Amino acid sequence: MPADAPLFPRAANGRLELVPYLMAGYPDRHRSIENGRRMAGAGVAALEIGIPFSDPLADGPVIQKAGQAALEGGLTVGGAIEIAAAISGRAALVFMSYINPILAYGPDRFAADASSAGVAALIVPDLPVEEAEALKPVFRQAGLDTVFLVAPTSTDERIQRICAASTGFVYCVTLTGITGVRADLPAGLDALLGRVRARTELPVAAGFGISRPEHIAALKGHADAAVVGSALVAADDPLPLVEELLAACG
């Protein structure tokens, strides 16, 4: 069972933690392991590993296309678990998967295999807290933290429920929309992060639309970590951007 311990420390002394995203199997199996190892070893708080799905409703074109390419390259759920195992030991690993591949693999088996591979937490973007009631104990039993998402449209009452259901950290979706690079952080984000902060002792990670050092600077004091996805997936080599963002974090 996971302790109630957070997956990474809360921000202190004006720092922010970085959580980069990797699409398993993209651009191919070998390079996703290499990129994952390098990013995980660069001093990040955690590495989020996406399991591709044919119909990713919460994702913008960059992650959609990467997922499609990974699937065309033959990546399976089992293959994504193997990739996680090959990366593990360098940073906390978090799986991001839509619910259907998990249901098809079998939730019990998925939780056990992910945990054995060294994965510490799970994010399921199309599984809101209500739908997760039956599955949450399955994941927690296997030692996986369950991270739920808060959105700008969430009511205070829902934020309360989401924070109560989450372990490891709470994921705050910064904008009303899908994943992808934006020029600016949305107005009102500080207030949203404040509403989440007031309801949990867990670290709060902000994600969606974050890609630049300026974004990192703007999040300091409001969030504990920043999740960066599309900008890294789109880069031929994600490491330089990870290092640039880490420099802004410190």
Partner 1 sequence: MPLRYGVYGGRYVPETLVSPLEELEAAWRSARADPAFQAELELQRRDFVGRPTPLYFAERLSAHFGQARVHLKREDLCHTGAHKLNNALGQALLARRMGKQRIIAETGAGQHGVATATVGARFGFECTVYMGTEDMRRQAVNVERMRMLGAEVREVTAGTRTLKDATSEAIRDWVTNVRMTHYIIGSAVGPHPYPEMVRDLQRVIGDEARAQYLEAEGRLPEVVVACVGGGSNAIGIFTAFLDDENVRLLGVEAGGAGLDGGRHAASLVAGRPGVLHGSLSYLLQDADGQVLPTHSISAGLDYPGVGPEHSLLRDLERAEYLAVTDREALEAFQLCTRLEGILPALEPAHALAAAARLEGRVLLCLSGRGDKDLATVLAG
Smaller CB distance to partner 1: residue 56 or 168?
A: 56
Residues between 11 and 50 with contacts to partner 1, criterion CB under 8 A: none
Smaller CB distance to partner 1: residue 211 or 245?
A: 211
Among residues 77, 92, 219, 225, the one that binds partner 1 under rule CB under 8 A: 77
- Candidate ranges 31-39, 155-163, 211-219, 227-235; the one touching partner 1 (CB under 8 A): 155-163
| 213 interacts with partner 1 by CB under 8 A | no
For the bound state, the minimum distance from the C-beta of residue 126 to partner 1, rounded and expressed in Å, comes to 5
Smaller CB distance to partner 1: residue 86 or 129?
A: 129
| DSSP per-residue letters across the chain | ---S--SSPPP-TT--EEEEEEETTSS-HHHHHHHHHHHHTTT-SEEEEEPP-SS-TT--HHHHHHHHHHHHTT--HHHHHHHHHHHTTSSEEEEE--HHHHHHH-HHHHHHHHHHTTEEEEE-TT--GGGGTTTHHHHHHTT-EEE-EE-TT--HHHHHHHHHH--S-EEEE-SSS-S---SSPPTTHHHHHHHHHTT-SS-EEEESS--SHHHHHHHBTTBSEEEE-HHHHHSSSSHHHHHHHHHHH-
Among residues 84, 114, 135, 178, the one that binds partner 1 under rule CB under 8 A: 178
For the bound state, the minimum distance from the C-beta of residue 175 to partner 1, rounded and expressed in Å, comes to 8
For the bound state, the minimum distance from the C-beta of residue 14 to partner 1, rounded and expressed in Å, comes to 29
- Candidate ranges 4-12, 97-105, 186-194, 217-225; the one touching partner 1 (CB under 8 A): 97-105
Token pair listed for 96: 């991001």
Question: Which residues are marked as active site?
Answer: 48, 59
Q: Which residues of this chain interact with partner 1, rule CB under 8 A?
A: 53-58, 60-61, 64, 68, 71, 76-77, 98-105, 125-128, 130-131, 148-155, 158, 162, 173, 176-178
